[in-house]
Amino acid sequence: MKTVTLEEPGRFGSREEEYPTCGANEALVRVHRVGVCGTDLHAFAGRQPFFEYPRVLGHELGVEIVEIGSENPKGLKVGDKCSVEPYLFDPQSPASQAGVTNACENMKVLGVHVDGGMRPYFTLPTDKLHKSSSLSFDQLALVETLCIGAHAVERANPRQGEHTLVIGAGPIGLGAMQFAKAEGAHVIAMDISNDRLAFCRKDLGIDASVNPLEGDSEEALRAICGGQLPTVIIDATGNKKSMENTFNLAGHGCRIVFLGLFIGEVNFDDPSFHRKELTLMASRNALPSTFEKVIAAVESGKVDTDPWITQRMKLEEVGDLFEGITKQEGQIKAMISIDHDS
């Protein structure tokens, strides 16, 4: 079977690989869809820290079970369609023992630290599979991305109608907006692209939007929030300036979640942190329960995935078309399909 391998920054290759067999606690899956994510683009550009080449990418997956080992506590069956939780945490680690599996000390992510799903078949631990009886393979492959945003919303835990500002309308921020909305929050999108903001309002039904390049953001937020400032902020920009500015945009008692990652130091003004009694949190990956929750939300139609996929390619086209994804305007999610004749 042919796999697509990122051989080095900027170059994919193809390798012949043995058809895999699965162990007792594993399942063999047929991969139908692979979503392309920022991590993949960083790896391609050679900007992903601690990344080793060659590597089979792919951690946003829509798969079908072909074979299943004898240890199968979830009672999964051959033919089940599943989303993959790509976080291979160590169940014995202190974080996992404390229930924070998403921040496990020994975390390995499929398609990042170990080979992922950009290949027709692979094996993985059975407990990483989350099944749905109604989602399409496209939707199953979007679940992981949505989980990242959904987990940030779990961290912030907005109340019904609470003014919730999500900064950054890239794929991760969009997921956070959709789940904050699904939780009943009053969601405000902030981004420097008016096209993205229009997309948030029209396609995702987000309540309001602010472009920080078009005037005073604090004033704009007060106008939206009845004179107050938001009491939940999720920053999905990974931009130092934006992250530092969240303290100025926060209402008293605000919970701020840094969902984006900035590689470096972020500074804050302690008196404003103290005076407003802010809570600052990070959000990383997602929990197994987040996958179940996201699948249920998409199944019920509470979260609409229709606007998400903006570009498609086949596995054999990855080498030629991948680079173009990074340059395409209005890009949200590129989806790779793998054809299986038999």
Positions touching Zn ion (CB under 5 A) are: 37
Q: Which of 37, 334 has the CB closer to Zn ion?
A: 37
Q: Which of 37, 221 has the CB closer to Zn ion?
A: 37
Q: Which of 60, 191 has the CB closer to Zn ion?
A: 60
Q: How far is the CB of 60 from Zn ion (least distance, A)?
A: 5
Q: Please say whether the beta carbons of 282 and 234 come within 8 A.
A: no
Q: How far is the CB of 76 from Zn ion (least distance, A)?
A: 23
* Nearest residue to the partner Zn ion, using Cβ: 37
d(CA 24, CA 104): 24
Q: How far is the CB of 230 from Zn ion (least distance, A)?
A: 26
User: Which residue has 């470096």 as its token pair?
Assistant: 264
The DSSP 8-state label assigned to residue 73 in this structure reads T
Q: From the centroid of its chain, how far is CA 198?
A: 21
- Does an H or E element contain 34, and which? strand 26-35
Q: How far is the CB of 219 from Zn ion (least distance, A)?
A: 35
Q: Please say whether the beta carbons of 176 and 259 come within 8 A.
A: yes
Q: Which of 37, 204 has the CB closer to Zn ion?
A: 37
Residues 6+ positions from 236 with CB-CB distance below 8 Å: 149, 152, 166, 167, 168, 170, 172, 173, 176, 259, 260
Q: Annotate 194-221 with DSSP letters as a single string.
A: HHHHHHHHHTS--SEEE-TTSS-HHHHH
Q: Which of 254, 313 has the CB closer to Zn ion?
A: 313
Q: How far is the CB of 87 from Zn ion (least distance, A)?
A: 11
